Structure formats: C-alpha cells, structure tokens
Structure 1
Amino acid sequence: MRHRIAVVGCGPAGLTFARVLHRHGYPVTVLERDPAPDARPPGGTLDLHEGLGQRALDKAGLLTDFQAVSRPEGQAMRILDTDGTVLRDWRPAPEDRSNPEIDRGQLRDLLLGPLAVQWGRGVTQVVPGSGEGVRVEGADGRQETFDLVVGADGAWSRVRPAVSSVAPHYTGVTSIETSIDDVDTRHPDLARLIGDGSVAVYGVNRSLVAQRNSGGHVKVYTKFRAPLDWHAHLDLADAEAVRASLLTLFDGWAAPVLDLFRHGTAFVHRPFFVLPVSHTWTHVVGVTLLGDAAHLMPPLGAGANLAMLEGAELAEAIATGPGDLDATVRAFEERMWERAGRWAQITTAGLERLVSPDPAEALALFDHVQPA
C-alpha cells in the first residue's frame, strides 16, 4: 500500500524529499505558499558538500546534472584585514569538487524537474490524530488528510507546532544583505577584489563577506552584534539611509571594501534566529520535520546541505523500507537529531568566533587556508 504523504515547503529540503520519492515512483503532494517558482528572489549561492548535499543529489539521480551547472571555481576564498591587506588567498585545484557553488535558483530548478508542485497552497495548521490521519488546513480554507506530513517550511514553520512548542530565538547577531549586478563590466575593481569565489573581512564584532554568484551577480553580507531593535530609528526601506548607517558602522575599513556598500542596490535585513542546539521532540505519529523547521542553526554553510540529505534519506527509507511508516520515521528522527545536534554545536561556536570582539578568533578558523 502506498501511503498518502505531503511535504510542506518548496526549499532544498522539501524538493529533495519529493524528488527522491518521485525517482522511486512514489506519489507525494508538495504544498508551497509561494504562488510560483519565481515569486520572490531565490537567494544567493550555496556550496554543496561531497558528503552532504552532493550525496543527496546522487540519491535523487541528479549529481551529473549538478556537476554540469555548478561552479567549482566558486570555492576560492580571500580574506582581508580591515585595512585591505590580504591575509589569506586560496584557489581550488582544477579537479577539486569538494564544495562547488550553485545558485539557489539553479538548484531549485534542478530539483523541481518533473515534480507537480501545488503553488499558492499556504498551510496554516497541521493537526495530527484526526481520525483519518493528519489534517492539513490551508490558508485557502481547504483541508486534506495524509498519513504523513513532512514540515520542510523553514524557520517559522507552520508544521512545527504539531510536534514542538519551541520557537526560534535571536542570536544577538544580525545581517544586512545587498547585491551588485554585472560586476565584471560595471565595477571591475570590485570583481578583481572578490575573485572567482568570495572575499571576507573580519573586524571587532562585525564582518563582511562578498560572494560571487553566476552571471556577474554578487551578494554582499554584513554580520554585526546588535539588539534586535537596533534599527528602531532607521527606515530599512530607505536604501540610502541604510547605506549611510553601514558606512558609519564600518568606518575606517579600507575604501575598496566600503565600495561594496556604496555600489549595493536594495538592502535586506536578516537577523539570525536559531532553535536550541539540542532541539528534539516527542515523536508524533504522522508528522515530522526537516531542515530549518527541525534544527534552525546559524547560516554557516551546513543548513541546506543537512536539509537536503535528510530529505533524501527519509524519502529513500520510505520508498525502499519494509512498509512500517511510523517505525521508519522514528528511526529517521533519531539519526537526524544526532547529526544535526553536532552541526548545531559547530555552527553556533563558529558564529561566536566569526563575529567576535577579537578578529583573530575568526581568522584562526581559516588556519587551513594558505596565507597570502
């Protein structure tokens, strides 16, 4: 008997879960609140690790397709002092495929493939133990019942309350993101500064990373320690006001670094929220979570990789297992909690060091990178 399964959320976790089930000929309902794939910007680039995200794509039969569009050269990394001195400068070997980059939009399209996503299907509540299974209530008033509902709907998951009352909490670190288009033509000096991959600068309780995406697009991310309401007297919709605030916050840094702010377009505020490092829950029949919905952690490169592997592993276990759906989900949760807990500890400690009163703490994390 094929179980009725739904996944809520069309990010890397939900799509990988659905794609692996699809590969095994297993039906799955994919619910996504966005009205279309391109309803909002997909975000920046991701580095997919050999043992995590790439392993998940292999389970989905998509590893060769990924290798065709990913950017191994994007692994390059340069670290500067705040005065512009180059401290580290690393370029991958031609055959290095350990952590190649791919734009989120490209990854989304790769995973979507033949999947029949139900766009514009926001979920308001998931109610387990409702007689015929788990009831999913939609923002459009529709209700459906499933044997398993998988919450892959991110930090502010609407599925999570069905298994856990824990909510994300603010880390004390916030970020502002901006973008630069056509950098090679319009800003060749910045293009050279960034190189093929990324450039990072670490100061006292603040940092900046500029990362190349495909097509000459660059994402610029700042991180700094501040109260959650630090912007109370700043209009975040006023790009010039935000630019001026950042230039003041990073005053004294090298002019080429500050040019990354000066030439940025829109600015997006992203405070960092996390779930407790050891977040687990008492198992609930018919409901489970993946990715940020299950273990929201600092965005230091592990989250999407873990989420994709979790989605692939759960789907594979369901499609190829003995048929006891609840036992399969229970066993998956135990494995997920153990692995995610280790990564949550690593990324939490990493954030403390990357946004530290002592910039040497951040630089020490890159001792494996060749000095300039």
Structure 2
Amino acid sequence: MTQIAIIGGGPGGLTLARLLQQKGKQVTVYERDKNRSVRVQGATLDLHEDSGLAALAAAGLMDAFRQHYRPGADLMRITDAAANILVDDHGQGKSEDRPEIDRGPLRELLLDSLHPGTVSWDKQFVKMEPAENGWQLEFQDGHTAYADMVIGADGANSRIRPYVTEIRPFYSGVTMVEGSVYHPETATPEIAALLKGGKLFALDGASTLIVSSKGDGSLVFYTGMYLPENWTKESGIDFNNREQVIQWFSNAFSSWSPVWHTLAQQATLPLVLRPQYCMPTDQHWEAHSNLTLIGDAAHLMPPFAGEGVNMAMLDALELSECLTSGKYTNEAAAIAAYETNMRQRAGEVAQMTLEQTESMHTEGALERMVAMFSGLPQQI
C-alpha cells in the first residue's frame, strides 16, 4: 500500500489525512510542534460553505464542528480611528453564513478523527532524497522515514516547496504586527465593549487595525500598513520591550483615539511581526508523480480576504478526491489534475486578495469598506 507522508499538521494537512484515511490510505502526518497540547496561536477562523465547510462535511465532521464553533463570533463592527461605529452586524442578529471556530478546537476535532498514531510530533523536517520509488525523509531529531508520496502542508515557509518549484513569493508591501491581550474586560475594557465577542475593523487613511475575540476570553489584534520589506529587521524596535512597543504604537497611530493605544499597553510581549507575502498569481510548474503541495505552501497570500484556511481545506478535499476517485490512470495524473485546478483557483483568489489588500491600505479605505458592507455604491 502507498505510504503517504503529509508534512505539516495544520488544518489543511489534518483535513487531508482524515479524508485519505476514510478511503483506506496509509497516512502519517509529521508535525514540528512538540505535542498536541501546544497552544495554537492566531485569530479565529471563519469557514466558508463552498470550501472549509465543504471539506468538513466530506470528512464527516460537521457534528463535531457544531459542538465547537462560536455563534456570533463572526459579527463585525467597522469603526473609524476615533472608535465611532459605522457598521454594526450586532444589530442584525447572529449571522452564521461564515461560522467561526478557534484554531485550537478545530485542530482538536481533526486530531480526534484520525487513527491513533497518525501524527508524529516534534518532527521538524530537514531534508529528503529520492529513494526507491519515493522519498527518504530526515528530521531534526534524527528520525528518518520512507514515503512513497510526500505532500507539503507546511505553510508559508514551506521546506517542501523548493523540491517542487523554484518560484518564490513576493512582498505585498504590507506588514502586520500581531498581539494578544488576556482578560480584556479588565485590561482593555473599552476595546472589549466595542468588540462584543466578535470582530472589529478599524481603518484610517492607509492604516488598519483588526481585532478578534477568542473562545478563551482573550483577544488578538493585527495592525496593518505599507512598510519597506526590510522594516522588520531594520526598524530598531524591540517588540519585547514595553516602552518601545508603546512608543512605536503611539507614533504609528498618533492620530487615533487613546482607546486603541491600550492594546499596546496591555498586550502580551513580544509582539509578532508578519510581513505579508504572496505567490505569483500565474505560477506554474511541471507536476511530479509523488510530490505536491497544499495550502500556504502552494499559494501563500495575505489574509485580507479571509481565504487562507479555506483554500487549504479545499485543497485537501480536491487532492483527496483526485487521489482516490479512480478517475485517473495513476497518481502522477491525479496530482497533475489537482495542481492544474488548484493553481488556477488560487491565482484568481490571490488576485482578489491583492486588490483587497490595496483597497484596505490606501486613502479612502474606510469609506470603501463601509460602502461594501452597507450595500452602497463604492467610490474607487
């Protein structure tokens, strides 16, 4: 039986493992986290009906999803820099068109769906070499393993991607800074009141501030603005130093209400710097017979259209169908068919995402976003 190695245990990799196991495939997921108890970082995820939710439905996991998703967490408010609310979903009642789930519970329900021992933890991929008809894998802890097929699901800084293609991502121009605040009801009460258990989008000129609530009661925020690509290395700011963090935020958001500045004052340090990269929208490579990519490893793009996790889970669904449907004469043909469709789909979404990224970080961003979510004509 074909031995399949999935490198990376994020939502895409775990969804793929579940779907392949349902079809009787032999799968091992190699994940660099020490164990399943490692806290999963990042904001909540909104899953879309035709992608993330479709993959969960095919995996037979919608009941488990309904037990863990967060009704109302998708409700959004749009504000200006003075914290005036201009769009408010909360007045419309709870919408579940794109239901939200925290990353941790999503990973848990996916892990619980897999055969015992599917995930090999603490496995940082180092390299691989052709062996027999497949690949010999080597990991940082000295572990080695053979796989007939390798699927890279290892994210933005994929170590599998260079074995597939030399095409590299380009800098989008926008850098985000991420932070978390615990116990926001007491640490940042005005922000907590604005957030109301949902999401906040605050825009002014070319700067954005996105805030999301989490199931553990904390919040996560992301600043966004156009900055030089090397700013993260050359700014001279120590984002583990409270005084410097407060000074940076004060300078970057000098015209914004003091309400927002409490985020820098109360955030857990260090803040995380996230320059945003994107793969070329027209990328192409020749398909391999026993190697492919899903998720950010295949089509990294900024997060401003909310498509990242959904694209990864849809990749998992489409790749699993190509590999198990019996429609293709061999695995090479199945991979080629998957990649052709995936690249076209991802290219279209990436182009839309780049346009949205620019729209949110140039003058008039607030007016455009309010118009879009109010159903009004947009002035471009």
TM-score, L = length of structure 2: 0.90
SS at match of 2:6: strand
Residue identity matched to 2:193: R
Q: How far is 1:136 from its partner? A: 2.3
Maintained 8 Å contact 2:5/2:149:
yes
Maintained 8 Å contact 1:321/1:328:
no
Q: Which residue of 2 aligns with 1:127?
A: 129
Q: How far is 1:92 from its partner? A: 8.0
Unaligned runs of 5+ in 2: none
Q: Does 1:246 align with 2:249?
A: yes
Q: Which residue of 1 aligns with 2:319?
A: 314
Distance 2:307 2:358 in 1: 16
Q: How far is 1:6 from its partner? A: 0.9
Q: Does 1:163 align with 2:164?
A: yes
Q: How far is 1:253 from its partner? A: 0.8
Maintained 8 Å contact 1:42/1:104:
yes
Q: Where do 1:229-268 residues align within 5 Å?
A: 229-231=230-232, 232=234, 233-266=236-269, 267-268=271-272
Per-residue CA deviation, residues 253-309 of structure 1 (Å, 9 max, x unaligned), is 122222233322221111112211222311122110000000001112101101011
Moved more, 146-155 or 181-190: 181-190
Q: How far is 1:139 from its partner? A: 2.4
Per-residue CA deviation, residues 53-74 of structure 1 (Å, 9 max, x unaligned), is 1111111111111112111301
1:277 pairs with 281, 284, 287, which one? Answer: 281
Distance 1:69 1:34 in 2: 22
Maintained 8 Å contact 1:134/1:287:
no
Residue identity matched to 1:122: Q
Maintained 8 Å contact 1:31/1:121:
yes
Distance 1:278 1:72 in 2: 37
Maintained 8 Å contact 2:322/2:337:
no
Distance 2:37 2:170 in 1: 29
1:286 pairs with 282, 287, 290, which one? Answer: 290
Distance 1:280 1:239 in 2: 45
Q: How far is 1:93 from its partner? A: 5.8
Per-residue CA deviation, residues 182-233 of structure 1 (Å, 9 max, x unaligned), is 2235544322111231111111221101111112111111001111333522
Distance 2:45 2:282 in 1: 25
Per-residue CA deviation, residues 77-131 of structure 1 (Å, 9 max, x unaligned), is 1111112222111138667432111111111111111342011122122335x43
Number of aligned residues: 368
1:47–1:205 distance in 2 versus 1, CA, 3 Å: same
Q: Does 1:343 align with 2:344?
A: no
Maintained 8 Å contact 1:44/1:103:
yes
Bigger RCO of structures 1 and 2 (CA < 8 A, at least 6 apart): 1
SS at match of 1:91: helix
Distance 2:47 2:91 in 1: 15
Q: How far is 1:41 from its partner? A: 3.6
Q: Which residue of 2 aligns with 1:100?
A: 99
Unaligned runs of 5+ in 1: none
Q: How far is 1:251 from its partner? A: 0.8
Distance 1:306 1:69 in 2: 21
Residue identity matched to 1:75: D
Maintained 8 Å contact 1:197/1:211:
yes
Distance 1:204 1:93 in 2: 28
Distance 1:175 1:316 in 2: 36
1:278–1:367 distance in 2 versus 1, CA, 3 Å: farther
Distance 2:295 2:320 in 1: 14
Distance 2:375 2:182 in 1: 31
Q: Does 1:215 align with 2:216?
A: yes
Q: How far is 1:43 from its partner? A: 2.0
Maintained 8 Å contact 2:3/2:149:
yes
Report sequence identity in percent: 37
TM-score, L = length of structure 1: 0.92
Per-residue CA deviation, residues 145-189 of structure 1 (Å, 9 max, x unaligned), is 322110000111111111101222222211111111122355443
Moved more, 103-112 or 311-320: 311-320
Distance 1:7 1:202 in 2: 39
Moved more, 303-312 or 278-287: 278-287
